[in-house]
Amino acid sequence: MRRIEDQSFLLLLLAVSVAFGWILKPFYGAILWAIVAAVIFAPLNRQLLGRMGRRPGVAALATVLVVIAMVIIPLAMIAASLTQEASNLYGKVQSGEYDVARYIQRVFDALPAWATGLLERFNLNDLPAVRDWLASGAMKGGQAIAPQALSIGLNTFDFMIGLGIMLYLLFFLLRDGKALAERIKRFVPLRADQKAALFSRFADVVRATVKGGILVAIAQGTLGGLAFWFLGIHAPILWAVLMAFLSLLPAIGSSLVWVPVAIYLLASGAVWQGVSLILYGVLVIGLVDNLLRPFLIGKDAKLPDYVVLISTLGGIEVFGLNGFVIGPVIAAIFMVTWERFSASRQSDDGGAAG
């Protein structure tokens, strides 16, 4: 009878946990970023706590205000400028002021003979086909963006609600985070060493992903945007944001933006601008990842580049923009879980042999 009651209670526990997760699903992004911000700004909160007479509520509120001033407000300003530049660029493309086919033809005309022969071999020199492909892609992009544009008011309202929930939850995670973490550890049905490894790995990967990913992306996007602005390329903020997003992908990065632009500059006769952009991209933008990432990550957990690339792309595909954090975290927990399992098996085998 006791066993039936225990099984029934476990089923009830599972059911209410799934139901609670289902209720929280609409705000999982806000919850995720509250946890990420709490992990990242925990050292700052501890410093403020020591300077404010051990008053956790005041220290947490001050930390939230710092997050608003350092993160939320700058992002809002960049988003406003980005929206304006994207709208202007779209209008000029629609009006024909920017003719993509003409730009492509100019690049084709400037290519050397060996490059032209290579394109002909792969049947990539058909300008009308390339133009139709670009038009088809633009149409599909417009079809994807149109519903979002029609519901922009609702999306803005949902975003503000999510932002409010994130900041509200961040306050309590900073104030009560240590006690909450200890409580969660007690609930997890694992050995103490396994729980310590998993929780430590989670915090390390979040710090490494944000510090070594977002900050490097911001640096590369800023440097690329400044170069585009200096060279007089239209919509530098738009290209800077695009380079920042692409910088989240190891081994590919912002070169997907500045390399084609440099090729176009060379093909259009702006030789010194194209050469300068290539040198700047290789010597400045390209080296930021190698120089800045180790400094920012420090001793935090690192994943192999191929694991970061695959888990980031997979995470973005499944979870959207939030996936660039969720993907590497899942990959890291997967790896540390199997590491702990392997260590346990080796320990058991050693004990059995002894």
- pLDDT, tens only, 90-138: 676 666 666 656 666 666 666 666 566 666 666 655 556 655 565 555 4
Q: Above 90 in pLDDT, residue 65?
A: yes
The set of residues, in sequence order, having a beta carbon less than 8 Å from that of 85 and lying 6+ positions away, is: 235, 236, 237, 238
The mean per-residue pLDDT over the stretch 321-342 comes to 78
| Share of residues in the chain with pLDDT > 90 (%) | 6
Domain tally, the chain: 2
pLDDT band (50, 70, 90) for residue 152: very low
> Looking at the structure, do residues 142 and 244 belong to the same domain, yes or no?
no
The mean per-residue pLDDT over the stretch 256-261 comes to 84
The mean per-residue pLDDT over the stretch 60-71 comes to 92
Q: Which of 167, 187, 207 is the last residue of a domain?
A: 187
> Looking at the structure, do residues 249 and 320 belong to the same domain, yes or no?
yes
Q: In whole angstroms, what is the distance from residue 89 CA to residue 214 CA?
A: 26
The set of residues, in sequence order, having a beta carbon less than 8 Å from that of 349 and lying 6+ positions away, is: none
* Segment 169-189, tens digit of pLDDT: 999 999 888 788 778 777 777
> Looking at the structure, do residues 254 and 327 belong to the same domain, yes or no?
yes
- Angle ∠(312,313,319) on CA atoms, nearest 5: 80
In a domain, 14, yes or no: no
pLDDT: which is higher, 325 or 23 = 23
Q: In whole angstroms, what is the distance from residue 230 CA to residue 39 CA?
A: 37
* Segment 200-214, tens digit of pLDDT: 777 777 777 777 777
> Looking at the structure, do residues 36 and 169 belong to the same domain, yes or no?
yes
- The tally of CA atoms less than 13 A away on the side-chain side of residue 233 is 24
> Looking at the structure, do residues 180 and 42 belong to the same domain, yes or no?
yes
> Looking at the structure, do residues 182 and 241 belong to the same domain, yes or no?
no
Q: In whole angstroms, what is the distance from residue 26 CA to residue 310 CA?
A: 26
Instruction: Specify whether the CB–CB gap between 135 and 296 falls below 8 A.
Output: no
Q: Above 80 in pLDDT, residue 83?
A: no
Distances (CA, A) of 191 to 7, 183, 340, 344: 22, 15, 11, 11
Q: Above 60 in pLDDT, residue 298?
A: no
In a domain, 233, yes or no: yes
> Looking at the structure, do residues 183 and 222 belong to the same domain, yes or no?
no
> Looking at the structure, do residues 53 and 147 belong to the same domain, yes or no?
yes
Q: Which of 153, 187, 221 is the last residue of a domain?
A: 187
> Looking at the structure, do residues 305 and 250 belong to the same domain, yes or no?
yes
> Looking at the structure, do residues 147 and 200 belong to the same domain, yes or no?
no
pTM, two decimal places: 0.69
Neighbours of 158 (CB within 10 A): 13
Instruction: Specify whether the CB–CB gap between 315 and 328 falls below 8 A.
Output: yes
Distances (CA, A) of 275 to 189, 263, 283: 59, 9, 12
Average of per-residue pLDDT values in the chain: 76
In a domain, 114, yes or no: yes
> Looking at the structure, do residues 183 and 194 belong to the same domain, yes or no?
no
Q: Which of 101, 106, 108 is nearest to 132 (CA)?
A: 101
In a domain, 11, yes or no: no
Query: What is the per-residue pLDDT for 148?
Result: 45
In a domain, 353, yes or no: no
| Containing structural domain, residue 244 | 190-346
> Looking at the structure, do residues 164 and 39 belong to the same domain, yes or no?
yes
In a domain, 17, yes or no: no
Instruction: Specify whether the CB–CB gap between 245 and 217 falls below 8 A.
Output: yes
In a domain, 298, yes or no: yes
In a domain, 15, yes or no: no
Q: Which of 160, 187, 214 is the last residue of a domain?
A: 187
